[in-house]
Structure 1
Amino acid sequence: MGDILHALPAVTALRARHPEWFIGWAVEPQWRGLLAGEGADVRGAAMPLVDALHIVLAKDWARRPLSPSTIEQIRQTRRELRAARYDICLDLQGAVRSAVLGKWAHPRRLLGEDKPREWAARYLFDEHIATQGTHVIEQAVEVANAVTRENLPLMLPCLPVSERAERNCNTKLAAFGGKPFVILNPGAGWGAKRWPTERFGEVARTCADKGYGAVINSGPGEEMLAAEVCSASGNTAMSLSPTLDELIALTRRASLVIAGDTGPLHLASALGKPVVGIFGPTDPARNGPFGGKFRILRHPESKRDHTRRAEPEAGLLTISAAEVSSAAMELLEDVR
């Protein structure tokens, strides 16, 4: 989710500069909602950025790499990508898997960063783009600049609007009676990035005391975390498990989002919402909120480490609920 959100500003800038271009995106099915809402109309509100989506079942293929169905799906995907006759492919993920997809499309030019996240991907690129930016969003725009050797602007990305999700969101938020609300997201990709649920609960209680509703967002498999936060909040918070298009609609309505280094934080930043980021083993200078109003909390001794440890990183545990609440209230005061 974060990789797509970090790539969206670059592609949005290309679309704004070249509205006549045909742009496609290869995406795994669970993230389709970041590019197209339900009942998507191409280049309309429900699908504002791209002309085509190529659904790639990469996780299924990894589970059953040698099954006949996987082999046939890979063949179909290759045929579909080649049939689109793309002139240029941008690998904005910097992974071997994404670079291979680019090769499957058989474009005249496959562009990628000179120092991609996965070094082996470099050998699949036709053109290697040296980047100077610190943040991955800046780096993606630099790669996109190389398409026609221009300087694209840094801009908020286009995200889809789903009418069904908008209606569902309004129904779920009716309990707040129009009161402003804050989203808290206790989940994270792995345990080392996960701030304790009891502290999220304390922050939710502070939000309630200050007149804000608190919505606890939980993704698939995170329902127990949300329940722990609600309990720690004294049941002052509302727990929701929205679909991706509902999460976009929900975030558009939020006054603030509080989360660790995880997809919902990057979604809020992409939508221009104020955010409080709680960081530990990942580097916010490279992967944190970008643009807009934000506060980052991170212990100075936290080291960048993408090891998938189950326990919270030690520096993360030094960040108190009072510090997060204070940062949140400062931001909320600024946007009033």
Structure 2
Amino acid sequence: MVRKTALIVKFGQIGDVIMAIPAAYALHERGFEIDWVCGRSVLPLLACYSWIRPILADDRAIFRGSTLKRVRAIAALWGAIARKRYDLCATLYYDRRYHLLTLPVRARSKRMLSRQSRETTLLPGRHHSDEFVRFVLEREDGCQEGSATPVCPDRLPPSPLTPKTAPRRIAIVPGAASNLLHRQVLGMEPESLRRWPVESYRVLAQRLVDRGWEVVLLGGPDESWVKPHFLGIAMTDCIGKLTLPEVVSVCGTCDAVVSNDTGPLHLAGLSETPLVGIFGPTDPSTRIPRRALSVGIWGGQGFACRPCYDGANFAPCQFNGCMHQVTPSRVLRELDRLLDASSRGLPNSWRIAFPDEN
């Protein structure tokens, strides 16, 4: 039996790639073989899915290289994707420049995000995973019960952490809050407006340690700047030491994860570990992993400017008061609720919480 084939074009950032995986999985369940054009940053994660064939593109050269490097990188990508005929080529971007990358692709159907029609637009206020599924399956925009859940990799590496000895192991992500593609490829500044203040993370970490719990610091190599903020607190430092698949594995060994809206939030969402996400400039209903034991606290209650992210840029805010509105006590309260529900085996669907809730 000849299987259908699909080509997905989505380089990264990490969160967007993870939210697009359910769409690829929906195609896979319908008998499609999945090829995925990706950048180097997310390649190790996509390689953990046995049903995805990652095709590496040199995104740094394509977006920041000299004219010669750009031409060579695009030509190399063309050579990798032009030899195979596809039933569907789905480019999960609005920018028409991405159309150039799939010019030689032979496909019965080529689809690219576009704001010219409702069918090809990610509708605001809806979770990105659901919208990616609707887009690739060409579903009518009708009533859809349920939401797309994160799809866990089926061949993760073991966690590099030793078995826990403390009553609880809680992972926190104090530094990460930037678009990896913008920072590493386009050379833009981190989107720090969606970062919960590191001082708040320190207060939370100290309270957890005071309970006799283990606290694990997660983050990439560029987040080493947060380490001095935690001096004097006994913690397990994993910043810059883990691959993306290892982050998922480590989250799986933890009792809970606390993160703002960033890549590790979505990596943690691939595990079954209770997850507290902290949001402000972005709407958590469009991003929080829609699975059990997952809650997004949305700061900025009563702010006229919330959310300020329009899908491409943040407002020129000098002080992200929405994130400051979420207190360590509020986070700890949600954390305890999730841990209690998890330990008692209680049903606990994803939800959005607010700073002034009890």
The TM-score by the shorter chain falls in which range? 0.7 to 0.9
- The equivalent residue for 2:214 is 213
TM-score by length of 1: 0.81
2:313 is the counterpart of 1:304:
no
Could you tell me whether the CA contact under 8 Å between 2:260 and 2:278 is conserved in 1? yes
- The equivalent residue for 1:318 is 325
Could you tell me whether the CA contact under 8 Å between 2:208 and 2:215 is conserved in 1? yes
**Unpaired segments ≥5 residues, structure 1:** 37-45
CA distance in 2, matches of 1:130, 1:71: 30
TM-score by length of 2: 0.76
CA distance in 2, matches of 1:308, 1:26: 31
For the residue of structure 1 that corresponds to 2:170, the secondary structure is: strand
Report the RMSD for the aligned CA atoms in angstroms. Answer: 2.9
Could you tell me whether the CA contact under 8 Å between 1:200 and 1:229 is conserved in 2? no
State the Cα deviation string for residues 235-293 of structure 1 (Å, max 9, x = none): 13211031212112112222211111101111222333321111111111222332222
CA distance in 2, matches of 1:114, 1:72: 28
Greater helix percent: which structure?
Answer: 1
**Unpaired segments ≥5 residues, structure 2:** 1-13, 179-190, 344-358
CA distance in 2, matches of 1:147, 1:86: 20
Q: How does 1:1-336 map to 2 (within 5 A)?
A: 1-18=14-31, 21-36=32-47, 46-50=48-52, 52-67=53-68, 69-115=69-115, 128-129=119-120, 134-146=126-138, 154-163=148-157, 166=158, 169-170=159-160, 172-174=161-163, 176-177=164-165, 179-186=167-174, 187-189=176-178, 190-225=191-226, 227-231=227-231, 234-240=232-238, 241=240, 242-297=242-297, 298-300=299-301, 301=303, 302-305=306-309, 306-307=313-314, 312-336=319-343
Runs of 4+ residues over 4 Å off in structure 1:
130-133, 308-312
Displacement after TM superposition at 1:216 (Å): 0.7
**Percent of counterpart pairs with the same letter?**
22
State the Cα deviation string for residues 134-164 of structure 1 (Å, max 9, x = none): 1111101111322899x8983431415344x
For the residue of structure 2 that corresponds to 1:236, the secondary structure is: coil
Displacement after TM superposition at 1:202 (Å): 1.4
CA distance in 2, matches of 1:162, 1:294: 21
Could you tell me whether the CA contact under 8 Å between 2:130 and 2:147 is conserved in 1? no
CA distance in 2, matches of 1:24, 1:271: 24
Displacement after TM superposition at 1:215 (Å): 0.5
Displacement after TM superposition at 1:312 (Å): 5.0
Could you tell me whether the CA contact under 8 Å between 1:191 and 1:310 is conserved in 2? no
Displacement after TM superposition at 1:102 (Å): 3.7
CA distance in 2, matches of 1:286, 1:11: 18
* 1:188 partner letter: A
Displacement after TM superposition at 1:24 (Å): 0.2
CA distance in 1, matches of 2:16, 2:97: 13
For the residue of structure 1 that corresponds to 2:49, the secondary structure is: coil
For the residue of structure 1 that corresponds to 2:285, the secondary structure is: helix
The 10-residue stretch of structure 1 (311-320 or 151-160) with the greater mean CA deviation from structure 2: 151-160
CA distance in 2, matches of 1:139, 1:56: 25
For the residue of structure 1 that corresponds to 2:50, the secondary structure is: coil
Q: In structure 2, do the counterparts of structure 1 residues 72 and 199 end up closer, same or farther at CA, with 3 Å as the change threshold? A: same
For the residue of structure 2 that corresponds to 1:83, the secondary structure is: coil
For the residue of structure 2 that corresponds to 1:161, the secondary structure is: coil
CA distance in 1, matches of 2:249, 2:44: 11
